[in-house]
Structure 1
Amino acid sequence: MNVAEALGRALVAEGAAQVFGVVGSGNFHITNAIVEAGGRFVAARHEGGAATMADAYSRMGGGVALLSVHQGCGLTNAMTGIAEAAKSRTPLLVLAAEVTNRQSNFWVDQTALAESVGAVSARITSADTAVEQGVAAFRRARDDRRTVILNLPLPVQAMEAGHGSTSRNVDAHVADEPVAPTDEDVARLVAALRDADRPVFVAGRGARGPGCREALEALADRVGALVATSAVAKGLFNGNPWSLDVSGGFSSPLAAELIHGADLIVGWGCALNMWTTRHGRLVGEDTRVFQVDLERSAIGAWQDRAEGVIGDVRVTAERALVDATAADGYRSPEVRDRIAAEVRWRDVPYDDEGTDDRIDPRTLTIALDDLLPAERILAIDSGNFMGHPSMFLSVPDEHGFCFTQAFQSIGLGLATAIGAALAQPNRLPVAAVGDGGLLMGVAELETVARLGLPMVVVVYDDEAYGAEVHHFGPHGHVLDTVEFPPTDIAAIARGFGFEAITVRTAGDLGPVGAWLDGPRDRPLLIDAKVISQASWWLEEAFRGH
């Protein structure tokens, strides 16, 4: 067999079960080899969508996905999705065909492309070492949680595989033990917890692993800490009576008040960045800050005064529990009752600003939260609208919320929902997108319909790039470049094979219930004509600029 065939087989043998991509001449043979070896291939309609699908699939527990792209333009088309994955430390292996002739129209510096967005660059250099190098790249993606671009030169792909090119000849991998903190670091953390009267735990991406919730909740119960998450870990403490939900720009007024009132904040696998702390305003002037992280470079990257503990979140929490002193801490009957009554955004009173022609996005999202089944997986695009589905739609756990926002690109939401749906097939997939983002990635509506996914796509349609409207509009700037004429998005969706409805008032949502009660044999798109409304989270974000 040739190198492409041998490498495809070896990657499946290593555990790569899912590949996304758009197939061209340069990645045709390796993609087919993966399928013939038992892998599942999902064809996207654009490489950017394929990259985002692979990113979401890996994030949501489906295992390390592969992304297969054509040389040159196939890779450049995928780069926004790859940048999002790399910035999020998503374990993902990109199989990128590569030309070696600089006179070819397809030639670009693929190594420089990878490095420019923070991905790891690797290359197959010979037929004899192809499988070894390919498997090593897969393991690097998996074990180091990195996005790796594996360049596959066309001449090498076509060579006959050498003697060593079978997965049997690659040394078996032994998983590393979780990083344990030092005794000194644990002692410092335990002492800080003992001295704190109002501790708050903020769990991030690094706390989404097996056993982390249980370990953190046990320690929080011991020391009387309130618990919150960064946006990407939303749902981790779902059902906990002491949970403040998300810390940062999405925080409800009560959550922001209680986090700001903490005298100790511990970030668990959480960068405590400008979004999670509202540009630092949620951290009190005298609040002590700890970070538990695997990487020393993460300590203090956003909070200069942060004290660091280098270690795995679960292991560190379990170690700290052994010596932690029992205390009521921040937990009192009054705080518990206020959390129960006020911490959810849907419990915060508001004046409905809807009209006969346009629905208030808060009213829309609360109604959908009541209609849609609790076992859901929610994918959020970026844009002015995004705080509403993020905070008014509940999720069952940390694997029910897929938030691709590390690069802050709009247009990724629909593809995110596809990858997340395939990783969590027993949940109802819900894509929440703006009209601008949906139309950027509209081709993937065909992918949803072709795969038969019972997806609900909710379009918050204000006929504009709302973030720019509300950022520049108040200063008197002309907005012609960011406002658009009405578009019948429901009709577009029907053309792709969806059921679709247009919603202007809450009374228009009746067909959603009928769809949920039916066979769900076609996906559903809800084109919600929402009022143009500046969102609270965006106002918070712009304060830092």
Structure 2
Amino acid sequence: MTTLAEAIGQTLADDGVRHAFGVVANGNVLAVAGLTRHGISYLSARHEGGAVGMADAYYRTTDEVAVCTVGAGQGLRNAATGLADAVKHRSGVLLLCGDVPGTGPRRIDVDQDGFLDSLGVPVVRLTDLATARTDILRALRLARTEQRPVALCLPQDLVTVQVTERTPADRLSRRPRRMAADPAGTAAALEALDAARRPLILGGLGAWRSGAALPLTELGDLLGALLTTSAMAAGLFAGNPWSLGVCGGFAAARAAELISRADVVLAFGASLDHWTLADGGLLAPNAVLVQVDTWPAPTTDRVDIHVTGDAAEAAAALLDGVRARPLPRHTWREEVTDRIGHLHWDPEPSQRHPRATGPTRAS
């Protein structure tokens, strides 16, 4: 038989987790030993906030979930800033933390559910030894498929208790399937492109994570569209002569002027927060804004058409649709060739959106 601490390390290692970052405390020391015993590399941090930052950065650079492990109570509270940042950036992080014993709270304990809920972090608690391995994988599935931090809470009085579940009831794929673009949303986007004369493609962090640069570039060439990115996806179209650079408060003045002339904006994997849209002052009031994202609903009321799906999958679907119709290739690129050729970084915010004077942070 295997203890719960050992089962955590074995189950995560078997399902492809390779790295963990953390601060050892009374509530997680045996779990850390279980991780390392099963081949998961562990890097110690000096502060819990730094440990979450490491796991967050690991996900952003590799697109793989890493473990961040901290103790209960004070250890978990120290992770607040890093967790909030990981939530905002939709980073898959599995937070393995100590938890209140089943016998009741101690002096050091806090309302961990309320604390994590306030940060937008869902909780999976390991209280049933008959489903422990399945619950561990359920937490990992949430972090992978929903691209968010998920807390796996380990009650201290169960750490050394033996689990009765030998194998998980639901073995997960290490790589979740990409979400296909919904047909209704794709059709609506194609209808909008039928009437477009100055299309613009905006790539966000979701587009970068899905590897959508190539299909988005092909779509732009087919439509004759200009290209731009959110701040978090800067460089997605690096070297492309039709790229306007970053969209938002730090957009170059000439780029902002061109962005404001777009009549259809296709946003792929971008949250479209007020930094990206410059508090609503960047796009033309009559521009049709199409948001492509894995979230089931638009992230802002400004969105006119919402397409649910992975950025690369949706770009491929739109490519097929454009080729099948076919839509006319627009002449906007030829009209603005001279302006794009003289684009440069402008440290002053564009006068077209004077409210956008703060730092630009978008996804």
Give the TM-score of the pair, scaled to structure 2.
Answer: 0.89
Change (3 A) 1:183 1:107: closer
Deviations 1:157-183 (A, max 9, x none): 111232x24xx4443224654333343
In the alignment, which of 330, 333, 350 is matched to residue 331 of structure 1? 333
How far apart are residue 252 of structure 1 and its match?
1.0
Asked if the contact 2:279–2:355 (Cα under 8 Å) also holds between the matched residues in 1, the reply is no
Structural RMSD (CA): 2.3
* Cα distance in 2 for residues equivalent to 1:151 and 1:169: 18
Change (3 A) 1:85 1:305: closer
Asked if the contact 1:126–1:156 (Cα under 8 Å) also holds between the matched residues in 2, the reply is no
**Correspondence 1:108 to 2:110:** yes
Asked if the contact 1:274–1:302 (Cα under 8 Å) also holds between the matched residues in 2, the reply is no
Give, as a single letter, the amino acid of the residue that structure 2 aligns with 1:204: G
Give, as a single letter, the amino acid of the residue that structure 1 aligns with 2:225: A
How far apart are residue 280 of structure 1 and its match?
0.7
Asked if the contact 1:215–1:314 (Cα under 8 Å) also holds between the matched residues in 2, the reply is yes
Report what 2:272 is aligned to: 272
Give, as a single letter, the amino acid of the residue that structure 2 aligns with 1:172: R
Change (3 A) 1:304 1:53: same
Instruction: Indicate the larger mover: 74-83 or 138-147.
Output: 138-147
Change (3 A) 1:204 1:539: closer
Give, as a single letter, the amino acid of the residue that structure 1 aligns with 2:76: L
Identity %: 36
**Correspondence 1:318 to 2:316:** yes
Change (3 A) 1:10 1:323: closer
Asked if the contact 1:200–1:266 (Cα under 8 Å) also holds between the matched residues in 2, the reply is yes
* Cα distance in 1 for residues equivalent to 2:305 and 2:92: 28
Report what 1:17 is aligned to: 18
How far apart are residue 10 of structure 1 and its match?
1.3
Report what 2:49 is aligned to: 48
Instruction: Indicate the larger mover: 95-104 or 231-240.
Output: 95-104
**Correspondence 1:288 to 2:288:** yes
Change (3 A) 1:3 1:183: closer
Report what 2:262 is aligned to: 262
Report what 1:68 is aligned to: 69
**Correspondence 1:541 to 2:358:** yes
Instruction: Indicate the larger mover: 181-190 or 256-265.
Output: 181-190
Give, as a single letter, the amino acid of the residue that structure 2 aligns with 1:88: H
Change (3 A) 1:71 1:31: same
- 1:60 aligned counterpart, secondary structure: helix
Give unpaired runs (5+ residues) of structure 2: none
Report what 1:422 is aligned to: none
* Cα distance in 1 for residues equivalent to 2:91 and 2:111: 23
Asked if the contact 2:275–2:356 (Cα under 8 Å) also holds between the matched residues in 1, the reply is no
* Cα distance in 2 for residues equivalent to 1:253 and 1:231: 16
- 2:228 aligned counterpart, secondary structure: strand
* Cα distance in 2 for residues equivalent to 1:329 and 1:94: 50
How far apart are residue 105 of structure 1 and its match?
2.3
Report how many residues are paired.
Answer: 349
* Cα distance in 2 for residues equivalent to 1:46 and 1:150: 19
Asked if the contact 1:21–1:67 (Cα under 8 Å) also holds between the matched residues in 2, the reply is yes
* Cα distance in 2 for residues equivalent to 1:256 and 1:111: 43
- 1:178 aligned counterpart, secondary structure: coil
Asked if the contact 2:4–2:160 (Cα under 8 Å) also holds between the matched residues in 1, the reply is yes
Change (3 A) 1:329 1:321: farther
* Cα distance in 2 for residues equivalent to 1:349 and 1:289: 27
Question: For residues 234-245 of structure 1, what are the structure 2 equivalents within 5 Å?
Answer: 234-245=234-245
* Cα distance in 1 for residues equivalent to 2:253 and 2:156: 56
* Cα distance in 2 for residues equivalent to 1:14 and 1:138: 9
* Cα distance in 1 for residues equivalent to 2:286 and 2:279: 16
Question: For residues 464-483 of structure 1, what are the structure 2 equivalents within 5 Å?
Answer: none
Instruction: Indicate the larger mover: 148-157 or 55-64.
Output: 55-64
Report what 1:304 is aligned to: 302
**Larger RCO, structures 1/2 (Cα 8 Å, 6+ apart):** 2
How far apart are residue 305 of structure 1 and its match?
4.9
Report what 2:202 is aligned to: 202
How far apart are residue 7 of structure 1 and its match?
1.1
How far apart are residue 245 of structure 1 and its match?
1.4
Give unpaired runs (5+ residues) of structure 1: 351-386, 388-535
Change (3 A) 1:349 1:213: closer
* Cα distance in 2 for residues equivalent to 1:261 and 1:540: 21
Change (3 A) 1:118 1:320: same
* Cα distance in 1 for residues equivalent to 2:93 and 2:271: 21
How far apart are residue 326 of structure 1 and its match?
4.1
Change (3 A) 1:243 1:151: same
Asked if the contact 2:289–2:302 (Cα under 8 Å) also holds between the matched residues in 1, the reply is no
How far apart are residue 191 of structure 1 and its match?
2.4
- 1:296 aligned counterpart, secondary structure: coil
* Cα distance in 1 for residues equivalent to 2:75 and 2:183: 49
Give, as a single letter, the amino acid of the residue that structure 2 aligns with 1:540: T
Give, as a single letter, the amino acid of the residue that structure 2 aligns with 1:97: G
How far apart are residue 236 of structure 1 and its match?
1.1
* Cα distance in 1 for residues equivalent to 2:185 and 2:260: 25
Change (3 A) 1:539 1:278: closer
* Cα distance in 2 for residues equivalent to 1:194 and 1:62: 35
How far apart are residue 194 of structure 1 and its match?
2.7
- 2:150 aligned counterpart, secondary structure: strand
Give, as a single letter, the amino acid of the residue that structure 2 aligns with 1:54: A
- 2:31 aligned counterpart, secondary structure: helix
How far apart are residue 197 of structure 1 and its match?
1.3
Give, as a single letter, the amino acid of the residue that structure 2 aligns with 1:240: N
- 1:217 aligned counterpart, secondary structure: helix
Question: For residues 429-444 of structure 1, what are the structure 2 equivalents within 5 Å?
Answer: none
Report what 1:92 is aligned to: 93
Change (3 A) 1:539 1:123: same
Report what 2:4 is aligned to: 3
* Cα distance in 1 for residues equivalent to 2:138 and 2:213: 31
Change (3 A) 1:537 1:73: farther
Report what 2:133 is aligned to: 131
* Cα distance in 2 for residues equivalent to 1:302 and 1:7: 39
